[in-house]
Amino acid sequence: MPPMKNNKVVLITGCSSGIGRKLAILMHERGHKVYAGGRRWESVKTLCDLGITPVELDVTSSEQCEEALKVILAKEGRIDILVNNAGVGIMGPLIELEDKQIEEQLAVNVHSVIRMSRVAAQPMIEQRGGLIVNIGSVSGILVTPFSGIYGASKAAGEGLLAAYAEG
């Protein structure tokens, strides 16, 4: 694919594997300056070999989220796109899940979306432009057996999108 003319500064969370990793590679191939965040450093740092800037980023840590944005703003002077992709899928009957599992699911799939959006929105407002993309799931609309807390977390994500759209 040819590079885009207006190269953007992009931060993608959850780039250790899966959708985030593939998206980081695709955005880089399109000519964007990509910062790939992930908490599994051994995996995310390999993206450096492709010309992508890895960022050690546990989205459940306010400090790491704020630090990631500070580093990007110091190096690039702006943030154009944030992709909230980080997620976990805890499966099992809802009544059998431990509190710790439920808290982890909500911390990563809900709280981190709010946290990352909040830290990225301020510089985007100041620069009068930017885009925040949240990766969702059909499970936010249609919950499948043994994925109740995952579905609930993705439904919350859908609600956040509606809330952000309304201001």
- Active-site amino acid positions: 150
Judging by beta carbons within 10 Å of its beta carbon (0-12, 13-18, 19+), is residue 120 exposed, middle or buried?
Answer: buried
Distance of CA 114 to the CA centre of its chain: 10
Segment (H or E) for 38: strand 33-38
82 forms beta bridges with 11, 132
144 CB-contact burial (10 Å; exposed 0-12 / middle 13-18 / buried 19+): exposed
DSSP SS3 for 34: strand
First to last CA, the chain: 35
The helix (H) or strand (E) run that includes residue 53 is strand 53-56
Question: What is the Cα Rg of the chain in Å?
Answer: 16
